[in-house]
Amino acid sequence: MKKVFEGYELTLVEEKTYSTNSTDNIRSYKTELCRNSEYRHTCAHGVFVGDIESPQASTILLGVGGATGIHEDSIAYHDSICFIAAGDSVFALQLPSLELLWCRKVDFATCFGIYWVKEKNCLISWGEVDVRRLTKDGDIEWAASGSDIFTEGFELDKDQIEITDFNNDVYKIEIETGKNLKLAK
């Protein structure tokens, strides 16, 4: 997947066979980042600035917890910082250097997506168990959960989140407060 932020081309690739510190990997990276290196990673997302063959910067994000793939909701951007979901965490990387600013575990299992909400100047993470609001500095402002895992749908507008759990119960969560109101099916 390719994205352009502030004129910088950013490429994300899944590295399904990546092994830490191995010379047999398909690609090499300037840095390896993992929230907790005590655990074996469950997913690996390569990040490049510039041409993938001779990048200006590169890093590999090693996710722990539930495995995640790369899709449109895997990345958000604000103010020269890209936020990338990998495993149970969100990584904040400075552009164009890809320097790690912070990494935060945002769900017990898996982070499905990360979103920048311009109107509220915050990040929203969609996890399997929790929805969280974070500052751009990675501070968690609130967390909301439901009666089952949030796997059936996620919609975001400027004031609220509508999310559906495995039982098809629908919740509305206020972005400002994190207050959730369970709706009828």
The CATH number of the domain holding residue 113 is 2.130.10.10
Beta strand 153-156 with 140-145 is unpaired
pLDDT of residue 64: 93
Is 4 within 8 Å of 50 (Cβ atoms)? no
Walking along the chain (185 residues) 10 residues at a time, the average pLDDT comes out as: 91 93 90 85 95 94 92 95 97 97 96 96 96 97 93 92 93 92 59
Instruction: Count structural domains, the chain.
Output: 1
Structure tokens at 152: 């059936």
pLDDT of residue 106: 97
DSSP letter for 98, please.
T
pLDDT of residue 37: 75
Domain that holds residue 27: 2-182
- Residue 96, preceding bond cis, omega within 30 degrees? yes
